[in-house]
Structure 1
Amino acid sequence: MNKFLEALHDAVLDAGAKNMARNAGFNSHMTLLQRANPNNDDHQLSLPQFLRIVVHLPEQDRRRVLLALSEEFGYGLVAKAVQPAESPMQALLELVTESADVTRAVHDAIADGRINSQEKFTIRREISEVRHSLDVLEESVKVA
C-alpha cells in the first residue's frame, strides 16, 4: 500500500493542500496533509476522506492515485472512453429508448414463463446499452 499512499500524498501536494482542504471539507490543510502522509501512522485516512480527496483532484492526479491503488491488488486501470451527445436532451432521449429496449426484451423473454440462454444474452446486451447511455448522458451534462 505504500506506493498508493505515496501517490496520494504527492497528488495532494501537487494539487495544493490549502485549496484541496477547503474544497474537500477538511478543517485545515494541515489535517489533510497529516491524513495523506504515508509516514504518519497516527493519522489514518478513512475511506470517506479518501473519496473526498480523489473527487477534488485534477484528472491527471486522480488517474495516478487510482492506478497506484489498482496496481497494489494486481489490476490495471482503464478509463472509459465516452463521447458526449450533442446535448443532454439528446442523450436523455437515447437513454429512454434504450430503457424501453430492456423492457421489451424482458417482456418478450418472460412471455412463456421462463428465460432461455438466448433471451438472457439479449437482456444483458440491452442492459449494457442502457449503462452506456447513462455514461453518455453523464458526460453530456458535464460538458453542457
Structure 2
Amino acid sequence: MNSEISTQIPTPLGELTLRLSSTPRGARLARRLTAQQLDAWGHPHGGDANDTAQHVVAELAANAVTHGRVPGRDFELRLLLLPGDTLRVEVSDARGDRRLRIVTDPEAEGGRGLVLVAVLARTWGVDEREVGKTVWAELPLAARKGPVG
C-alpha cells in the first residue's frame, strides 16, 4: 500500500456508483456489474482489463462483506474511468477499522486477497470517510474498443 500517493481524483470520463447488500450475493453482484460496466466502456468480457477489474472488485467486495460488515449497513461500489486509461475501483464499508491484513504465510487459510490487489493494481490504499472506510485501487486499462459513456 502506498499511502503517500495523492487521492486527488481527476474528472472521470465515466462513473458508476452502487450500494449493495453486505452479503455474499452483494459481493457477487458487484463483480457482475463491474464486468457489465467495463464492457459498456469498451473493455469487453474476457479481455484482460475486464478480467482484472473483476478480480479486484471480487477481492475488495468480499473483504467488505466479510470483515467490514456492520449489520443493517450496505457497502458501496464505485467505478471511475479516469483519463490515461485508468480505472479507479472504490469499495466502501461501514466499519472504520483501517488495519488491513496482508498475509504472506503460504500455510494460512486466507488473507491473500490484498496481495492479489497489490499485484494487479498500479496503486491502492485506504481512505477514511465519515462512516467507515474506502479501499481503492487504480488499474491500468488497455485502449478501448468502443464508446465511452
Same fold (TM over 0.5): no
Q: Return the structure number with greater helix share.
A: 1
Q: Return the structure number with greater strand share.
A: 2
The structure with more radius of gyration: 1
Q: Which has the higher contact order (CA 8 A, sep 6+)?
A: 2
Give the TM-score, by structure 1 length.
0.24
